[in-house]
Amino acid sequence: MIRRCSIFLLVAVHFASAEAPLKSLNPTVAKIVAEISTDRIAAIEKQLGSFETRNIYSAIDDPARGVGASREWIAAELRGYSPRLQVRFDKHRLRGNEKARYKKDVEIWNVVATLPGASEPDRQVLVTSHYDTIHLVYKTGDNGQRVLDDEGTIAAIAPGVTDNGSGTAAVMELARVMSQYQFRKTIVFIAFAAEEYGLLGSGFYAEDAKARKDSIEGVFNNDIIGSDLKENGQRSDRYVNIYSEEPNDSNSRQLARYIKEVSERYSPGFDVNLVFRHDRFGRGGDHSPFNALGFAAVRITTPYENYSHQHTGTDTFENTSPEYATLVTKMNAAALAALALAPKTPAVVPAPTPAGRMFALPLSRGKMPSGYDGYDAVLAWRNERPEADLAGYAIVIRGTTSPTWEREIFVGNVSTYTLKDVNIDEVALGVKAIDKDGNESLVAAYVTPPYIYRKAETY
């Protein structure tokens, strides 16, 4: 314990003497957060519920009911927010499968609104939800067991206001407010279809993004963010859960840490609870296909799900909380805007050190400085085509069991840095870029390479 404290004391001394942009509130980000409206979120939720169902097999030609009317309304609203928003339907034909929940052929329409970045349009940040709904109806099967009634499920009223009108309202309100501003990177606002039938809309989109080689820095997936009351009467509007996949320094986990650190700065009193799991037990969301294909993606959801209304006809506006959804939307706004304004994340490359010992923190070319004795933490990183407004880089440090970064050292506009007498085996380290306005990139963490077992030959 004494040794760990001495390491953090060393870091604190460095931090106190470093000249770095202060961690103040960016006026643009603060203004965006303040403009998120509960009334607008409530109005969107009411309208989405008024379509009675948004099941992917519901009516596509009814002007007031079903998935067709709802997706047209969402797209029209997005187009009305700003001429800078590029709104389109991302369409896919799904072949039915008798062994799956989707037994009949159907077209899946994702609604996509793109806000092009001003200086780095190829770099993207996504904020997503799913707009489709389902009301699970059951019947007694031939063997007397309870089985899903597919036709009954399609015909049933499924307003889906909390699941997931609340997430869709958040995405739409973020698009309304943020489309009035310019950002360094491109922001893509997406309402996916067919989440309730197996994450299909997001899966198709993620596959296409992978094939296009889209540079996606993060996916903020909002699903069930409108409930602050459990069926057992427990209530809370003071925090939200963010799920991120293993390992501990995965890109998704760095995104979750970033959201927590930034959003709590702009919304003090509303906490982000980091849950170090891919998702809830036995369940998934539209972040899952992105994770599976190598993108950083997290799930944002209430810790107070009300299962008595979920996937039923009672998931109505009367049983949701637009006030709580607003708090979560503001949290999204802070981190999403900050990341869209931030410089890109530097790259770190591990390499072997003398004596055959594998260090996580080498110089970029694998060469150690003269006089290096193996007891210092030597960090190196690369940043091809650095931004003109780049102020420099910061080293971050935490205990290996700490969920969040605990210390920070601004080291200036350099590409290497040495922490004297810091044992890299005892701490986790990373580096991030900071521009002259104080906007910070995601952290690039230094990780130990995986052990590869090679069977020895016998004779």
> What residue spans define the domains of the chain?
2-23+345-445, 35-341
In this structure, are residues 175 and 111 in contact, taking their beta carbons and an 8 Å threshold?
no
Query: Which residues of 97-176 form beta strands (DSSP E)?
Result: 106-115, 120-130, 138-140, 146-148
Say which CATH superfamily domain 35-341 falls into. Answer: Zn peptidases (3.40.630.10)
- Which residues are paired to 241 by β-bridges? 273, 301
Rounded-to-integer distance, Cα 364 and Cα 380, Å: 5
Residue 77 pLDDT grade (very low, low, confident, very high; cuts 50, 70, 90): very high
421-452 pLDDT, tens digit each = 888 889 999 999 999 999 999 999 998 877 88
Buried b (16+ CB within 10 A) or exposed e, 423-445: ebeebbbbbbbbbeebbbbbbbb
Task: Answer whether residue 236 shows pLDDT above 90.
Answer: no
Specify the pLDDT at position 235: 86
Q: How many residues does the chain have?
A: 459
- Which residues are paired to 218 by β-bridges? 125
Q: Which CATH class is domain 2-23+345-445?
A: mainly beta
Domains 2-23+345-445 and 35-341 share a fold: no
Specify the pLDDT at position 451: 82
Structure tokens at 304: 């107070």
Task: Answer whether residue 11 shows pLDDT above 70.
Answer: no
Residue 350 pLDDT grade (very low, low, confident, very high; cuts 50, 70, 90): low
In this structure, are residues 49 and 316 in contact, taking their beta carbons and an 8 Å threshold?
yes
> Of 214, 276, 269, which Cα lies nearest the Cα of 238?
269
Residue 178 pLDDT grade (very low, low, confident, very high; cuts 50, 70, 90): very high
Structure tokens at 203: 């899966």
pTM: 0.91
Rounded-to-integer distance, Cα 127 and Cα 258, Å: 15
Do the bridges between strand 215-222 and strand 146-148 make them parallel or antiparallel, or are there none, so unpaired?
A: unpaired
Specify the pLDDT at position 371: 47
Tell me the angle at which helices 166-178 and 67-81 cross, rounded to the nearest 10 degrees.
20
- Which residues are paired to 427 by β-bridges? 399
Residue 22 pLDDT grade (very low, low, confident, very high; cuts 50, 70, 90): low
Task: Answer whether residue 68 shows pLDDT above 70.
Answer: yes
pLDDT, averaged across the chain: 90
Specify the pLDDT at position 421: 87
Task: Answer whether residue 190 shows pLDDT above 70.
Answer: yes
Residue 1 pLDDT grade (very low, low, confident, very high; cuts 50, 70, 90): very low
Rounded-to-integer distance, Cα 290 and Cα 301, Å: 17
Task: Answer whether residue 34 shows pLDDT above 50.
Answer: yes
Residue 207 pLDDT grade (very low, low, confident, very high; cuts 50, 70, 90): very high
Rounded-to-integer distance, Cα 284 and Cα 274, Å: 17
Specify the pLDDT at position 351: 42
Rounded-to-integer distance, Cα 55 and Cα 38, Å: 26
Specify the pLDDT at position 142: 87
Q: Which residues contact 366 (CB under 8 A, 6 or more apart)?
A: 351, 352, 353
Residue 257 pLDDT grade (very low, low, confident, very high; cuts 50, 70, 90): very high
Handedness of CA 421, 424, 426, 432 (dihedral sign): positive
In this structure, are residues 53 and 27 in contact, taking their beta carbons and an 8 Å threshold?
no
Rounded-to-integer distance, Cα 157 and Cα 160, Å: 9
